[in-house]
Structure 1
Amino acid sequence: MTQPQGTDLAEHLALLRRRKLLFSGCLLLGVMTSGALCYLLPPQYTATTQVLVAPTGVQEQNNQVTPRQRESLNLDTEAQIAQSAVVRSKAAQATGSTTIAPPAITVPPNSAVLSIAVTTGDPAAAAAQSKAYADAYLANRTETAEAELAARLKTLYAKLKQVNSSLGDVVEDIEKLTKGSAERTIATHRQNVLSRQAASLTAKYDSLKTVAVTPGTVISQAVPPAEPSSPSIPMLLGTGLMAGLLAGVGTAYLRDRLDTRLRTAADVERLTGLPVLADFTGDVDLHDLTSSLVASCPDQRLLVRAVPNRPHEPLPVELALLDGSDVRDLSRADAAILLITLRQATSQQVAAAVRHLQRHRVSVVGVVAHGASPAQVDSAPKALETVPIPVVPDSP
């Protein structure tokens, strides 16, 4: 006998109604916890500086321009540089502080803009640190570009100097060679090649000498925020409400699945699947009870089995001829009813009693439930003794 697994919405709602105290407690706990966090968490302020990144004029990591990527600059790489340790050290020096909050770098889609946001407990400090990060990033970008430009100029100058020296040596050799000779022809060809190399290197050198390094500009200065960015009261309350809701539902389902105690007649039918013929926790119509038993078991001997089973305790009701006191009752019984004491019996005990009766080929026709209070137990026999159930006597 297993607990039915309902998938209908009404069954889930019924489960929550049964565990409404547990569900409401978890929900209230989640809301109260989020409210406490709103009160205890210190306010945080976020200031943002926007930087328009421009090509520096020297070779950089570029993206292929496509309909999805309209900027040639690799802004993902620049975002990592903006939050690197070098830039952070420069920003700390600019603010005169040994500790500085880490920035949050974002890149708007299809743009060459870096949004540098800093969150601290002081709005003025947040704005100052965000501006310091932007200035440090641009300064580092300028230094990197100028260093690369200087290295390229130095390399070009060394190559140009080498080509000019070789060209001078070739010119001197040509004057010493005989006109029309093969050696002079080769030397003349080499002179032309070196002349073209020198002209190309000179053009590149002059072009780099005129390059103006443009790292970018600040297009939006950070200002001290007037309102804190966190904690967000709606977000915390919504999170607490959702967490409490999920915890309440999960706890209610777990508690309902693990709790097998039968507290009401509805629990008996829900957890055991047996029909409840009468419920003595409230008003009961004895005429209807007698009619139901007779209709359920016409011309049959009924056995009453108490759950939980107390062999030395007399049954609180006289519903049948057989009460289990005689060892032959199981063999003589045609059918059985279970007398369940609510708030004491469990579904496992009912299942064990049903299995025991079925092994002796005695079918269970239903359940009679009664409360565990002494007043209800004492009043039950007096009410039922006046309405006997017809029973067929033993055959000779």
Structure 2
Amino acid sequence: MNHPASSVPGPATGREFAEFGSMLLRRRVALAGFLLAGLCCGGIVLAMTPPSYTATAEVLVSSTGVQDQTNQTSQRQREPLNLDTEAQVARSAVVASRAARALKVKDPDPLRDQVTVTVPPNSAVLAVSYTARDPVTAAAGAEAFAKAYLANREATAKHALNAQLKVLAGKLREVDAALGTTVTGLPRTVPGSAARTIAAQRQNVLSKQVYNLTVKYDALRTVAITPGSVISDARPPTSPAQPSPSLYLGSGLFLGLLAGTGAAMVRDRFDTRLRTAADVERLSGLPVLCEGENARELRELAIAVARHLRDGGELLVRSVSPGTDPEPIADDLRVALTGLAPIWVRTDQAARADAALLVVESRAARSKQLAQAVRQLRRTDTAALGVILLPSPAALPRGESRPAHPRRHPNDPPARAS
């Protein structure tokens, strides 16, 4: 079952988009100005921003075999090592201090802001990137952090290994001493007594502990520390990573578009000048029946008037624009109405007419003046058929003006179309 309400938002939305696009088209000059200004601002900021270069060194992280941070395997991270933790370690203050010594920099804190460490998915690789003002420094920084991370990882593993060896050595000394005491006291016990049996069992247990601890100790002493290796050395980049022309210029265009759209909407809201037929119809709701003084359009207008006043009557041609004389249009209409209907065409507003045409000169009238003229016509029950839009004198070709018509005296009787 189709619901009628489901089809309502579509046309309304399309109409709103059409009106919005029409508004932008009307204000295209202002919009283009803001777009150009935004593009220029983006270019200025781009030119003022110093370039920065980024170099990257890739480190393959290996298991040291000594208390590594383990990670639960997943689709993103299939390695048992917790590389997210290792990435944080690579940016730590300890690693930054080692890198600062390699770079011969006193303060390591600013270096941490220039390095980023990422983990490519499904890998045991750390991508160590370093950003600097020149490509050589960027490559040196990335290489220094990569090697400092491996050195710190190796030192941490050795420290953990030595701590385990120290604990095992101490435990082994304790068990060995207890075993020596047990062995020394065994001959002094009575053969076959319970004390001798207990001493013999204790000797066996301590001997096994000494053996196990000795195996563990020897195994730890042979552990090879493998923190990882640099599988891709950092190379000086050939082009700067920042600033990005597309980012800066695109941002400038976007901001210019936003500002231009806002300015166009504000100006369109408060500017009520009637420039085009679309402005007249949009701001007044009256149709534009004729543009200019084209003979064909005047003939079509005369036919439309004759169809409306088929029984004859009086037609008022009234000017809305200050200083615009409606008499030339009235004379042309009298000629065009000849033979169509008995219609009196007049320009004076002293008496009531059956219908009216409003003459608007482009850029010379505002919607408020047109609305006032329509209200005055309604007070006398005169139907406003539509608007005749005349071009502005500034829009006419140079040296061309509207054709002159003989002025009629207001007291002369209006000409009647036969």
How far did residue 191 of structure 1 move? 5.1
Matched residue type, 1:141: R
Instruction: Find the aligned partners of 1:37 and 1:176 in 2 and give their Cα distance.
Output: 95
Q: TM-score by structure 2 length?
A: 0.70
1:232-288 CA distance string (max 9 Å, x none): 4455445545555565556545644554432122321244332112334x5465444
CA contact (8 A) 2:53 2:131 kept: yes
Answering whether residue 382 of structure 2 is matched by residue 368 of structure 1, we say no
Q: Which runs of 5+ in 1 are unaligned?
A: 391-396
Answering whether residue 129 of structure 2 is matched by residue 117 of structure 1, we say yes
The match for 1:394 is none
Instruction: Find the aligned partners of 1:286 and 1:387 in 2 and give their Cα distance.
Output: 19
Instruction: Find the aligned partners of 1:68 and 1:170 in 2 and give their Cα distance.
Output: 56
How far did residue 69 of structure 1 move? 3.0
Instruction: Find the aligned partners of 1:273 and 1:178 in 2 and give their Cα distance.
Output: 126
Instruction: Find the aligned partners of 1:389 and 1:147 in 2 and give their Cα distance.
Output: 115
Counterpart among 49, 59, 64 of residue 51 in structure 1: 59
Answering whether residue 281 of structure 2 is matched by residue 269 of structure 1, we say yes
1:316-336 CA distance string (max 9 Å, x none): 45655883x67xx5xxx6655
Answering whether residue 53 of structure 2 is matched by residue 18 of structure 1, we say no
Matched residue type, 2:79: E
Describe the shift of the 1:271–1:18 C-alpha distance in structure 2 as closer, same or farther (beyond 3 A). same
Instruction: Find the aligned partners of 1:377 and 1:144 in 2 and give their Cα distance.
Output: 98
Q: Report the aligned-residue RMSD.
A: 4.4
Superposition pairs of residues 163-312 of structure 1, within 5 angstroms: 163-167=175-179, 192-233=204-245, 236-241=248-253, 244=256, 248=260, 251-252=263-264, 255-256=267-268, 259-280=271-292, 283=294, 286-299=298-311, 307=320
Instruction: Find the aligned partners of 1:57 and 1:126 in 2 and give their Cα distance.
Output: 33
Q: TM-score by structure 1 length?
A: 0.74
Instruction: Find the aligned partners of 2:389 and 2:74 in 1 and give their Cα distance.
Output: 77
Answering whether residue 44 of structure 2 is matched by residue 39 of structure 1, we say no
1:128-173 CA distance string (max 9 Å, x none): 2222212211121122112222222223333334444455566667
Q: Which runs of 5+ in 2 are unaligned?
A: 1-11, 331-344, 395-400
Describe the shift of the 1:162–1:271 C-alpha distance in structure 2 as closer, same or farther (beyond 3 A). farther
Q: Secondary structure at the match of 1:59?
A: coil
Instruction: Find the aligned partners of 1:291 and 1:380 in 2 and give their Cα distance.
Output: 25
1:42-68 CA distance string (max 9 Å, x none): 332222222222112211112234565
Q: Secondary structure at the match of 1:70?
A: coil
Matched residue type, 1:33: C
Matched residue type, 1:58: V
Instruction: Find the aligned partners of 1:41 and 1:292 in 2 and give their Cα distance.
Output: 65
- Which stretch of the first structure deviates more once superposed, 176-185 or 203-212? 176-185
Answering whether residue 363 of structure 2 is matched by residue 343 of structure 1, we say yes
Instruction: Find the aligned partners of 1:157 and 1:361 in 2 and give their Cα distance.
Output: 116
Matched residue type, 2:242: S
Instruction: Find the aligned partners of 1:165 and 1:19 in 2 and give their Cα distance.
Output: 98
Matched residue type, 1:70: R
The match for 2:71 is 63
Instruction: Find the aligned partners of 2:247 and 2:324 in 1 and give their Cα distance.
Output: 62
CA contact (8 A) 1:177 1:184 kept: yes
Answering whether residue 171 of structure 2 is matched by residue 151 of structure 1, we say no
How many residue pairs get aligned? The number is 377
CA contact (8 A) 1:370 1:376 kept: no
Q: Secondary structure at the match of 1:43?
A: coil
CA contact (8 A) 1:44 1:121 kept: yes
Q: Secondary structure at the match of 1:128?
A: helix
1:298-326 CA distance string (max 9 Å, x none): 45666777657x8xx99845655883x67
The match for 1:132 is 144
The match for 1:29 is 37
CA contact (8 A) 1:286 1:387 kept: no
How far did residue 11 of structure 1 move? 6.7
Aligned identity (percent) is: 47
Counterpart among 53, 75, 82 of residue 90 in structure 2: 82
The match for 1:108 is 120
Matched residue type, 2:231: I
Describe the shift of the 1:37–1:177 C-alpha distance in structure 2 as closer, same or farther (beyond 3 A). same
